[in-house]
Structure 1
Amino acid sequence: MKRNIHLTTAAIVLSLFKPAIANDLNELSAGELLEKAKAEGKVTVYSFTSRVARLEKAFEAAYPEIDLQGYDISSTEQISRLKAEAGAGIANADVVYISDAPVVLNELVVSGILENYVPPRVADRLSPEDKAPLLAQRLSTKVLMYNEEANPNGSPIKNLWQLTTPEWKGRVVMVDPLQRGDYLDLMTEIVLRSGAMAKAYEAEFGKPIELGNAEDAGHKFISDLFANDLILVKSTDDVNAAVGKLGQRNPPVGFTSYSDRRDNKDEGWALQVSNATVPASGIVFPVILGIAKGSQHPAAARLAIDFFMGDESKTGGEAFKPFYVPGDYATRTDIAPHPDAVPLDKLTAWHMDPTATAKARKDVGDFILTLQ
């Protein structure tokens, strides 16, 4: 049945001027946004990291007139929720803080569910690829980690293909890549880097790789890894505890976030990145910020994003403090690298191309489904 839609004159005028209003807000300084944000009084943030609680505290200390409500929601769940809310004409979120760039850029941005905003204050301190199609706040990782207490001389894994050998049968841990997009991105990158994986195979075993029924060296690695009793768990914390727990004599290794090493002292872990592993330790990917279409608090949303990018100090101040840890890399060129981190240019992890990953990851996911 055909629906009749009637717009009032006021609604028509509002729809015509809304883009102009948004553009005007995009040009305002933080100080100019503040007055408008105070009138809005609130900003809602969907965040893929639990560190949003610390962001909330720091933001409200800086702007006590504005209530920041942060929700810790995985990237996968955020994507589903944002698509459902947009389909229902609802905008519960103002700011979206999310990883899983291949899906975000190719589904949420293309469909208009997420809109870009780059604070004028930091625009000249970001590379072009970190400003569009969405703002990248930092670079994160999914890399191979080991227990440095049990391995004081360095990682026991020098080559990724070791993970497929009898010595490591049932001793490799990761989050199920069919449940978490960033782990599927890792598996996809291994496929996309099949040439490097083939060379690494020959370096490890002294002979060219025999693919058998595998499509390429990346598919062969994933197949052999699963066949070697890969342990799949529900969360990154499960990986961290299994790999990093102190007092283990023969701990497993696992793929997780390099930045989780920040919790070693509090959690009783001994996590360290396996940076000497060839052909790579894992992947580096952007963590992105966007404004939800139809944001109910557009000025406060922009003010929050400006805040999340850090202050004018060399470490980003209180706003960036939750992320000024080894394993997180600021996209702002003027924020100093963390002194205890492997420098980004020395980190042996592949930099993910979200566009290439988006094209390949469904096929990789379907392949992994056949292995489980």
Structure 2
Amino acid sequence: MSRHVCGDRPRITARRRYFTAALLAGALGGGAACAPSSGGTTGSDSGPGSAPSATAVVDSGFDLDKLIAAARQEGGITVYDSTGDITKTVDAFTAKYGIKATGVKSKVGDTLEKMTRENQAGNVTIDATFYEDGPSLVGQLLAQKVVFTWIPGTLAQRIPAANQNPLQVLSKGNMWIYNPKLFPDGCPVKNIWDLADPAWKGKVALQDPLGKPNIVEYFNQLKSVGDTRLREAYRAKYGKDLPAGDSAGETWIKGLAKNSPIITSSDDDASAAVASPNQTKQRVALVSNAKFRDVADKNYSMRVCTGMQPWAGYQYPKYAAIATKSKHPNAAKLLVHFMLTQEGVNTQLGTGGVPGNPDLKPGAFMPDGLTDWNKQLLVFDPAKLGRDFTDLQSMQDLWRLNNG
């Protein structure tokens, strides 16, 4: 049985919101897909790809000066994001271009539901979103033409094709952490399979996977792309091979779920369970790199599990999408372009991260113990996003049945 440090009610609320959003999007999909759009215009003129589509709109005639002029004619915009850093982004955008931008922090399930409702009603207030759940973006918002992907032509040859639709603007990480004051010799977890071992029963904290979609995606990606390395790590720990017919990802997920993990309603609670100043219990936790700001702000003691095999966590991408019925499509495009520049993406790299535009520098801050984002963290395969969406329910069920 899992342990809940913040009670059951927040967990149920988060889960219900996500399921409600998924069901709603499916129900509204037919109407949303048939709606006309003003969101696919290129620069200040209509052009190829002006109709909403699950296919990315590459603005081959991109002209930044023309886009700025057109955007200033449209007025202010509103963008939803999963992080409070969005306020820094919109403030910098407004200061640079003189276009009022409002940033709203919103969970992905709530954003999905609101954008789908607005599209169906033809009353769009959310012009764009920086969105952290690739499966529902691909499987619902893009597929049902609630949003579309726009890419400035000048960057189409620079951004890897795999990261163009949906358009990845940056990635951050969820990583396994420990308290170096309680473990002065280093992370006590050397292998990902340790987390499913009885020795760590009740000592692993993480946000409820049923309320945090990118953890479920992590599980699906472990199953689809992580099998070989998980098997290698299993052999290293147990000195024998995992049976060939068993899924390494599912076996590990079941083991973690059955190991009485400490389920929290937020990353704040998960990090506190490990790193708070008066913490005496020896635990590890899965938290976002954003929580490393608490080292300075709250005197937390935390470090990434350096050397943990095969990964010390995973990268989770953030994508940009524009509402197909936005009344301010050019201003929304300008905001997307801004996030593909160093000035723009820096507003969200205060605790580290990797820009989607490979020409840009990663965040200067590196969480203690993390030395290489790409080698130490599992990198999601964007080609699996559609499959991750299809497998969402079955993976949630796998977790629920084994964690009950």
8 Å CA contact 2:39–2:322 kept in 1: the answer is no
Count of paired positions: 349
Structure 1, 224-233 or 249-258: larger mean CA deviation: 249-258
Shift of 1:15: 7.3
Aligned ranges 1:335-350 → 2 under 5 Å: 335-341=360-366, 342-350=371-379
> CA distance change for structure 1 residues 30 and 260 in 2, over 3 Å: closer, same or farther?
farther
2:376 aligned partner, one-letter code = L
2:151 aligns to what SS in structure 1? Answer: coil
> CA distance change for structure 1 residues 143 and 361 in 2, over 3 Å: closer, same or farther?
farther
TM-score for the superposition, normalised by structure 2: 0.78
* 1:269 equivalent in structure 2: 300
| In 2: Cα distance, 1:251 partner to 1:56 partner | 40
8 Å CA contact 1:258–1:273 kept in 2: the answer is no
| In 2: Cα distance, 1:194 partner to 1:346 partner | 16
Highest Rg: 1 or 2? Answer: 1
Matching of residue 237 in structure 1 with residue 268 in structure 2: yes
8 Å CA contact 1:114–1:293 kept in 2: the answer is yes
* 1:280 equivalent in structure 2: 311
Aligned ranges 1:243-258 → 2 under 5 Å: 243-258=274-289
| 2:112 aligned to which of 61, 74, 79 | 79
Matching of residue 323 in structure 1 with residue 348 in structure 2: yes
| In 2: Cα distance, 1:294 partner to 1:189 partner | 32
Matching of residue 107 in structure 1 with residue 126 in structure 2: no
Structure 1, 68-77 or 200-209: larger mean CA deviation: 200-209
Q: What are the ranges of 5 or more consecutive residues in structure 2 without an aligned counterpart?
A: 1-35, 51-58
* 1:7 equivalent in structure 2: none
> CA distance change for structure 1 residues 157 and 17 in 2, over 3 Å: closer, same or farther?
closer
1:196 aligns to what SS in structure 2? Answer: helix
8 Å CA contact 1:148–1:270 kept in 2: the answer is yes
Matching of residue 160 in structure 1 with residue 185 in structure 2: no
Shift of 1:210: 6.5
| In 1: Cα distance, 2:136 partner to 2:71 partner | 30
| In 1: Cα distance, 2:131 partner to 2:39 partner | 29
* 2:237 equivalent in structure 1: 204
* 2:156 equivalent in structure 1: 123
> CA distance change for structure 1 residues 16 and 306 in 2, over 3 Å: closer, same or farther?
closer
Shift of 1:366: 1.5
1:30 aligned partner, one-letter code = L
Q: What are the ranges of 5 or more consecutive residues in structure 1 without an aligned counterpart?
A: 1-13, 311-315
Q: Deviations over 1:241-265 (max 9, x none)?
A: 2223234343421112234324421
Matching of residue 334 in structure 1 with residue 359 in structure 2: yes
8 Å CA contact 2:39–2:325 kept in 1: the answer is no
* 2:215 equivalent in structure 1: 183
> Percentage identity across aligned positions?
24
Q: Deviations over 1:97-116 (max 9, x none)?
A: 10110111121111111111
| In 1: Cα distance, 2:373 partner to 2:40 partner | 41
Structure 1, 273-282 or 154-163: larger mean CA deviation: 273-282
2:354 aligned partner, one-letter code = Y
* 2:177 equivalent in structure 1: 145
Shift of 1:38: 1.9
> CA distance change for structure 1 residues 180 and 339 in 2, over 3 Å: closer, same or farther?
closer
Shift of 1:70: 1.1
